[in-house]
Structure 1
Amino acid sequence: MANILKTWFLAPALLLALSGCSSTPSVDHSSRYTLKQDRAPEGNFDVSELADAEPRYEAPRRAGNKSPYQVWGKSYRVVDSNDGYVARGTASWYGQKFHGHKTSNGEVFDMYSMSAAHKSLRIPSYARVTNLDNGRSVIVRVNDRGPFHGDRMIDLSYAAAKKLGYQSRGTARVEVAAITVKPDGSMFLAGEPFDPKSGSVMAKPAQEPVEPAEPAVESSRKALFVQLGAFGSPEPANAMFARAQRELDEPVRVRQVSTSNGRFHRVQVGPFVSEDDARYAQNLIESKGFGNSIVLTDTH
């Protein structure tokens, strides 16, 4: 009798195991995940010392770049090139449910890394994501596809979302600017030369016309500034400007610069009369949470 009962209890488990091993392309593969609902990791994961992804040249790959591709009956296309890509939309995040499972290009998803999923950017690649509500920015490595529900534009890893400050809300309004890296190591943010160490777009002086609102005499005056960031749209620049005004004692401005690749909004502190003064101010500024600043000479 015991053997009969044992067989009776094992039979459903055996059937369940067999059904889990069989799958076809039309089956919903979400069944392979242990969790039905995504969630944050347990405990208080500290991201204060977590560094951004470091952009580097990676040769084009076939994995994850099939175009067009279909998900849940809807067709999507991968861009031919990430060069110049910049867009605004809604970001969400993914975490424990997908942790340890493969991404679209065969890598393993790590919710503690600075990574992201995007529907159309070529992978692997890099992007700067800016929270339009608070001005915070991170650099992530795009190595997955998604998100495929609602109007969401990009899925960040839990760690990246926490650095941007929206992990508790679930979504945020963001600007996504692609970072492309050439074989020689040169980098471009949304088509503009870019220095990841400073986090700022490096403008080309020869291509920058003098702003019409500035008198000719004023346009020749140069001074040192601490630049907090440079943005392709005014929203993140204004958000950072407002935060800087609240938290810093020095004058803050948003300088609009037109280049051959569009208009950029530079958030700058200053001017300063000497490099020593600017460097001293930069240290104070970064101690208040404004990372990735750069000292530069600009029109006063």
Structure 2
Amino acid sequence: MNKASKTQTAKQDGPTPHYKIGNPYEIFGIWYYPERDLNYDETGIASWYGAADAGKPTANGEIFDHQLISAAHKTLPLPSVVRITNLENGRSIAVRVNDRGPFVAGRIIDLSEEGARVLGFRDQGIARVRVQLLAEESLRLEREAKNGNFPMLSELEQPELPKTQAAKVPESVLTLDNGQTLGGGSDALSAIEIINNSRSANLLESTATPTEIWIQVGAFRNKSNAETVLLRVLDITKGEISSFDNGIDILHRVRLGPISSVEDADNVLLSVINRGYQGSKIILE
């Protein structure tokens, strides 16, 4: 497969691509629960995988190509579309998710080598990121996949939309392959339009976002339960209970931190997991 990739269909030889959510599964003693979450919006640490896995089938039966932009996620449907923002440099791209992983504690998503290159962290190996599901695009890929078609993002046909008054857009810059830049003015582009403006993933560039690293041990409706858990992990490092309204309930989050580096956060996370809190994760604020 080359960068001018063609639509994969269920008729190809070898593994048969298919739409997949999947059942709960266990890897290295940790359980994962795939689900269709159209409101998915999380922060964490991204990593990447490359040539060593090239040519191998992905979790939904496609063929992995490290020279194409794609990603692996532990629970999102396959395929899905997410917007990944590198919070360290402000770069953001839409990415097609078609694989499972990364199965390393403290990592939220695994990009292909090309994806990591475009987002600017291939050499350093990891980056602080925000991952947001693009619901409209994901639902369109789901419909295509259930009909046996597995197009790249640039191959999706643009939907016919009613004419509307464009809302004011943020002052970010869209850089196209031909060097043209859009944004910061009256250009109002949907995510699909952004993707289809170029043969490769378009890059949105904004300013970097300063973040602090925390370990979220759990979130509880009952504050006394949160207080009990916090007491059990406070000997690892400092922590707190942070309460917020998610629109349905008041949730009380047990968090350890802030932590100065990803390496230190990995060590703290491992200690928390070893205490039995397997759902713990790294978050950024």
Question: Could you say which TM-score interval applies, normalised by the shorter chain?
Answer: 0.3 to 0.5
Answer with 1 or 2: which has the greater Rg.
1
TM-score (norm 1): 0.44
